[in-house]
Amino acid sequence: MAILFFSSSQTYEQQSQVGLLSKVLSNQPFEAQLKGISFDYAGSEVSIKAMGYAKFIEFFIRKGAHFGTYFLLGGSWFIGLNMKVKQPLLIGVVSWLAATGYAGLDEYHQMITGGRSPLFQDVMLDSFGALSAVCLCLIVLGIRKLSKKR
């Protein structure tokens, strides 16, 4: 959570990796395959044509980071709470809601940080990351429970 808070404190320019990606991916691998991808995210077009190659790739890295960090947060909440309370469904709901609540607070923090734009869509992506981890934890617990019965 501290890493997320620190990250939200930085402006887009401080976090941007477009320059590095332009250098590292100068030959623009898979550009022909990626050119066909185009969709709207938070009212903006996401495509190579609209954004440029490096910014397009960075978009997916940034959104993957959103999903991944909240996947870890939701899973960590679940594992931590599961050590004390043995009601997996309740723990799952609490873990998911805690991570989603923190996602909302994180976007609020971005709103008061200059050079950032808070997005409801990012909260939903974060929430889905946390929910995915919680579901995975519940599946693992279910498999363990079934294997112990055998």
Domain coverage including residue 130:
2-149
Give residue 84's pLDDT: 85
The pLDDT tens digits for 29-81 are 999 999 999 999 999 999 999 999 999 999 999 999 999 999 999 999 999 99
Mean pLDDT of 108-133: 92
Residues 99 and 70: beta-carbon distance below 8 Å? yes
Number of compact structural domains in the chain = 1
116-125: which pairs have CB atoms within 8 A and are 24 or more residues apart? Answer: 116/8, 116/11, 116/12, 117/12, 119/42, 120/42, 121/41, 121/42, 122/42, 122/63, 122/66, 125/63, 125/66, 125/67, 125/70
pTM over 0.95: no
Give residue 55's pLDDT: 93
